[in-house]
Amino acid sequence: MFVQFNEVLKIKSGAGSFVPIDCPVCKMMLKKSDIHASYNDFKCCEECKFSFVDINQEKWTSGWRPTKTQVNRVLKKRAKLPSYIMRG
């Protein structure tokens, strides 16, 4: 299955620095809402912010990052969630 995108946004963050297409922590594609919600402050997606930064904020600011095993555990949980929004 192929998906065609009619428009690709190139998002600038701050003074000319570019935001990567995927989260540096979990490697999942960043959403537009991730940029303002968490990437500018913590350099990760919003899900990683909830899973890692919020519970380890002091460690995170001093340079700690989750292990691959910790990231895989969160990705496994995330894969079980529906990837669509139901509209009523």
What average pLDDT does the segment 46-51 reach? 94
Range of the domain at 35: 12-79
- What pLDDT is attached to residue 86? 64
- What pLDDT is attached to residue 67? 96
Instruction: State how many domains the chain has.
Output: 1
User: What is the band of 9 on the pLDDT scale with cuts at 50, 70, 90?
Assistant: low
Within the chain, residue ranges assigned H as helices are 32-34, 40-42, 46-48, 57-61, 68-79
- What pLDDT is attached to residue 19? 83
| Mean pLDDT, the chain, whole residue set | 83
What average pLDDT does the segment 70-78 reach? 93
Q: Is residue 84 part of a domain?
A: no
The candidate with the shortest Cα–Cα distance to 21, out of 30, 12, 13, is 30
Q: What is the pTM of this model?
A: 0.71
Q: Is residue 52 part of a domain?
A: yes
Q: Is residue 6 part of a domain?
A: no
